[in-house]
Amino acid sequence: MRQYDGTVVVVTGGAGHIGRAICQGFLNEGAQVVACGRRPPETPVGDGPEKAVFFAADLRDSEGSQSLVDFTLERFGRIDILVNNAGGSPPVEAAAASPRLTEKIVALNLVAPLVLSQQAYGALSANDVPGCIVNIASVSGARPSPGTAAYGAAKAGLLSSTRSLAMEWGPHIRVNAIVVGLVHNEAGIEHYGGAEGFQRVADMLPLKRMAAPVDVANAVLMLCDDKAAYISGAALEVDGGGEVPVFLHLAREAAATK
C-alpha cells in the first residue's frame, strides 16, 4: 500500500514548475490528483501511467475557485488535501507598478488561496481524519522583497493566514506553510546573469545549490503525512539553510583583494 492510496489531492498551479513536482509526488504515492491552472497544459501532468486530472480555472475569480471544489467533489466525492501553490509575480519597481497590477498580484498570491481554502473547508473537515492545507509561501514574505514588494506582502499575508486558519480550523483541518527559497529553473538562469551568475548565487547558499522542485514536493508530502499529525500552523523553511547576508561576501571579496 502506497502512502496516499485513496487520498484526493487538489494542487493549484499544478502544471507549473513546482506544481508538477508536487502532483507527481502524490501520484507516485497512489493519490488521485486534480491539478488546476488557468489554461490546459500542452503535456499531461504526470510522468508515469497515472496522470493528474486537469481543471482550468482562474482562481482570482471566486466563482472559478468554487467550480474547482465542485468539480473535485463531483469527480471523486471528497477532498483530503489542498495545496495552494499557484502564485508568482513579474519583477517591477514599486514606484512604477500600476494599482491594477498590484491588485492582481495580491489577488493571486493571497486572496485566491484564502478564498479557496474557505470554499474547501466543508469537504476537508468532513473526513474521518483531519484534512490538510499546505500553502506554498516564499522567503519574499519573510524578508524584504525589493522589486516584488506586492508579492512579498502577499506571501507575508499568506503566512499570517496559515497560522490563523490553523487556530480556527483545528482539530478538523491542519494548515501549514512552506517557505520556499531559491528554486532551480532552467528557464530562469538568465535572470541571474547567465550560468556564471546563477552558480555564484547558488554558491552563496549553505547547501551550495538551489532547491529542485522535488525538494519542495517532498516537503509537502512530509507535512501531509500521518507522522506530521501534530504539526499545524507551522512555516517550514525549505531554503537550503537560508540566504547568507551579502555583507559577509562583500567583506570576503574585499579581504581577498588586499
* Cα-Cα-Cα-Cα dihedral sign, residues 222, 226, 228, 229: positive
As given in the structure block, the three cell numbers for residue 199 are 552558480
Outline where the chain has alpha helix (H): 17-28, 62-76, 99-106, 112-124, 149-169, 194-203, 213-224, 246-256
Query: Using an 8 Å Cβ cutoff, are 167 and 224 in contact?
Result: no
Length of the chain as a residue count: 258
DSSP classification of residue 130: -
Query: Using an 8 Å Cβ cutoff, are 111 and 133 in contact?
Result: no
Catalytic residue among 4, 121, 151, 192: 151
> Which among 5, 69, 7 is positioned nearest to 36, based on CA atoms?
69
Query: Using an 8 Å Cβ cutoff, are 118 and 163 in contact?
Result: no
Other beta carbons within 10 Å of 250: 10
Query: Using an 8 Å Cβ cutoff, are 14 and 46 in contact?
Result: no
Is 192 among the catalytic positions? no
Cα 244–250–147 angle (5° rounding)? Answer: 65
* 3-class secondary-structure state, position 210: coil
Distance CA 169, CA 40 (A): 32
Catalytic residues: 151
